[in-house]
Structure 1
Amino acid sequence: MNTKIQSTLTQNIFLCLIGIMTIFLFESCAKKIAFQASSIVPGAEGTVKVKKDNNSNYTIQVELSNLAEPGKLEPAMKTYVIWMETEQEPVKNIGQINSSSSLLSKRLKGSFETVSSIKPTKIFITAEDDGTIQYPGTHILTTASF
């Protein structure tokens, strides 16, 4: 009977270890990086979360707070554009946070999500007059390379 208890105990410990390793494996797949401080919008804060999915695509989630309306910047702009750098492409416009469509709320919070087949190495935000612009202006918020 002692061997049966030891065998069951060993199996339970083994299953617990597999469960813990699985949790750490999934947690390590997602990177969460904070934006660096900005002299243009000093109160702005935010994070970027990049996670590889089952199809080898990368989900990019941006969360922002205390980001001033683009029209209140000097010079005034119309929208914030989110850019991605990769090893294959130097820079790519991946979308915009448009304050007129309530994505940037009265509480100055906003979020953005997209999927890319290419792994990003850096994410940054600029204020622009045109959300479809192909080349970035002055960086408002940026992450370190990851």
Structure 2
Amino acid sequence: MKTINRIAAGLCIAFMLNACTPKMSFVTSTVVPAANGTINVKKDKNSNYTLAVDVRNLAEPKNLTPSKGTYLVWMKQNDNSVKKLGQLSPSGKDLSATLNATAVVKPEAVFITAEDNAEILYPAGQTILTTKK
């Protein structure tokens, strides 16, 4: 009976850990090789997902080739649709940028594109960082 209780307890812990999405990391970029960052995803009390994006060493978009106007953060959803989460503006000595966003579904992947403007509804520019390999 003790063995069954241990197995049940282990399964409960594994389930609870799986319910909390772990920290996601961006894959090294060939476009901006020094750029790196993480995304913390947590489920809130309303069953929404809060995403905290933190990026460092993200070159100014105007310094890219070709020059761009901004960086946008997107998430791929489980139905393969894409949702824009917001805009990143690197600043400071380490060219860091942060973004906090909320989504109703768990993100399958998060990626950052360099775009001409922030008003677009779908990614059209070059992918700078992504969490998928």
Q: Which runs of 5+ in 1 are unaligned?
A: 1-20
Select 2:46's aligned residue among 16, 35, 55: 55
Tell me the equivalent position of 1:142. 130
The yes-or-no answer on 1:133 pairing with 2:84 is no
Give the Å deviation of 1:49: 1.1
Tell which structure's C-alpha radius of gyration is larger: 1
Give the Å deviation of 1:138: 1.6
Select 1:46's aligned residue among 20, 23, 37: 37
1:119-130 equivalences under 5 Å are: 119-130=106-117
1:70-109 equivalences under 5 Å are: 70-88=61-79, 90-99=81-90, 104-109=91-96
Count of matched residue pairs: 121
Partner letter of residue 88 of structure 1? D
Higher-helix-fraction structure: 1
Secondary structure in 1 matching 2:28: coil
Give the Cα separation in 2 of the matches to 1:126 and 1:66: 15
Tell me the equivalent position of 2:99. 112
Select 2:57's aligned residue among 66, 87, 101: 66
Secondary structure in 2 matching 1:71: helix
Give the Å deviation of 1:32: 0.3
CA contact (8 A) 2:37 2:54 kept: yes
Structure 1 range deviating more: 46-55 or 90-99: 90-99
The TM-score, its normalising length taken from structure 1, stands at 0.74
Deviations 1:23-70 (A, max 9, x none): xx5797241011001110000000111111111000011111111010
Select 1:31's aligned residue among 17, 22, 46: 22
Alignment identity in percent?
A: 44
CA contact (8 A) 1:48 1:60 kept: yes
Runs of 4+ in structure 1 deviating by more than 4 angstroms, as ranges, are 25-28
Secondary structure in 1 matching 2:33: coil
The TM-score, its normalising length taken from structure 2, stands at 0.80
Give the Cα separation in 1 of the matches to 2:55 and 2:94: 11
